[in-house]
């Protein structure tokens, strides 16, 4: 590979060539750099993946975009897929960052979030289900396309008994909603979050408080939906009002409902699959963008579950 803009190579290669080393590790190749030229050696398919990933990262730099460590992994992930063209470089713009798809599955998910009024995202931990949904909601709020964001979760403990928590209602439910707060803090400055929570532009509420409401002109997210009952899910879905969008996220493999009770998420998949206007997006281990070990853990548990069912 030969590059025509030497000024970009320091960023492309990374400090002490760490970006190239990461691509070597992920693609299973060897890369040698000399000036504005790179030589890639390895199996033909692996070398092709490395070539596509490096070319994509270089084009990204030429457009004036930055490269973060996660972008290196994403470039290799896209290069391994048949759909090499990321096609979503603009991403979702928020106050603090531009959020982009980091896997082909996430790209499909972002397209669904833009196009549909109701989207179900099913996938393992770390696949970006909640994070991308919150980013889209913040983007639409900042653009004035919705009047507020409503974030909800069922207050079900993950295999633990927390007992009676001290404090007022908000202090009691905050531990259950912390992942939603974490995502918001990646999108908006802390003072804006506080102001919008105070004004009601952003509302965070447990699922139990949704009964009887009509949610109009807002962006609604139900997180950890695998922990709803079928009755709760039906109640929540019918809250959708005029000018609103709704995103339901969950991991069907991590249900915390007691006594083997059927999940409302599983029930919704059976009931609503094929209903016009409802989109189901299924993310997998290849869409996990946390630590590499998380991907391997997800794959190991999936294989164990398949073996047990067999």
Which stretch of 78-87, 108-117, 158-167 has the lowest confidence by average pLDDT?
158-167
List pLDDT tens digits, range 163-197.
555 665 556 666 667 778 888 888 899 899 889 98
CA distance 122 to 105: 11
- Looking at the DSSP bridge assignments, the partners of residue 93 are 98
Cβ atoms of 245 and 118 within 8 Å: the answer is: yes
CA distance 198 to 82: 46
List pLDDT tens digits, range 226-260.
999 999 999 999 999 999 999 999 998 888 887 77
Domains, the chain, with CATH or none: 6-80 (3.30.1370.10), 92-309 (3.40.50.300)
Which stretch of 78-82, 155-159, 182-186, 305-309 has the lowest confidence by average pLDDT?
155-159
Mean pLDDT of 112-127: 92
CA distance 268 to 271: 5
CA distance 305 to 302: 5
pTM across the whole model: 0.75
- What's the mean per-residue pLDDT of the chain? 85
Cβ atoms of 94 and 142 within 8 Å: the answer is: yes
The tokens for 11 are 């960023």
b or e along 78-110 (b: 16 or more beta carbons within 10 Å of the residue's beta carbon)? Answer: bbbbeeeebebeebbebeeeebbbbbbbbbbbb
């Amino acid at each position: 590979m030969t590059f025509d803009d030497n000024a970009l190579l320091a960023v492309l290669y990374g400090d002490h060539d760490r970006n190239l080393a990461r691509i070597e590790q992920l693609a299973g190749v060897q890369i040698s750099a000399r000036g504005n030229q790179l030589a890639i050696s390895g199996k033909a398919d692996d070398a092709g993946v490395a070539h596509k990933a490096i070319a994509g990262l270089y084009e990204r730099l030429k457009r004036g975009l930055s490269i973060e460590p996660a972008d290196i992994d994403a470039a290799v992930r896209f290069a391994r897929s048949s759909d090499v063209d990321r096609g979503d470089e603009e991403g979702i713009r928020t106050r603090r960052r531009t959020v982009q798809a980091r896997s082909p599955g996430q790209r499909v998910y972002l397209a669904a979030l833009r196009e549909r009024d109701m989207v179900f995202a099913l996938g393992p931990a770390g696949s970006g289900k909640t994070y991308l949904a919150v980013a889209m909601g913040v983007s639409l709020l900042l653009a004035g396309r919705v009047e507020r964001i409503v974030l909800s979760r069922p207050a079900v403990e993950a295999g633990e008994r927390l007992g009676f928590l001290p404090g007022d209602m908000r202090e009691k439910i905050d531990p259950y909603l912390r992942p939603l707060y974490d995502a918001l803090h990646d999108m908006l400055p802390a003072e804006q979050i506080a102001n919008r929570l105070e004004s009601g532009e952003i509302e965070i509420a447990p699922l139990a408080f949704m009964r009887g409401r009509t949610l109009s002109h807002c962006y609604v997210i139900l997180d950890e939906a695998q922990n709803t009952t079928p009755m709760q899910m039906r109640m929540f879905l019918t809250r959708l009002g005029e000018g609103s969008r709704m995103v339901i996220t969950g991991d069907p493999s991590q249900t915390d409902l007691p006594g083997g009770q059927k999940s409302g998420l599983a029930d919704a998949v059976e009931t609503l699959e094929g209903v016009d206007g409802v989109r189901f997006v299924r993310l997998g281990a290849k869409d996990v963008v946390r630590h590499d070990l998380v991907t391997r853990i997800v794959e190991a548990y999936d294989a164990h579950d398949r073996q047990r069912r067999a």
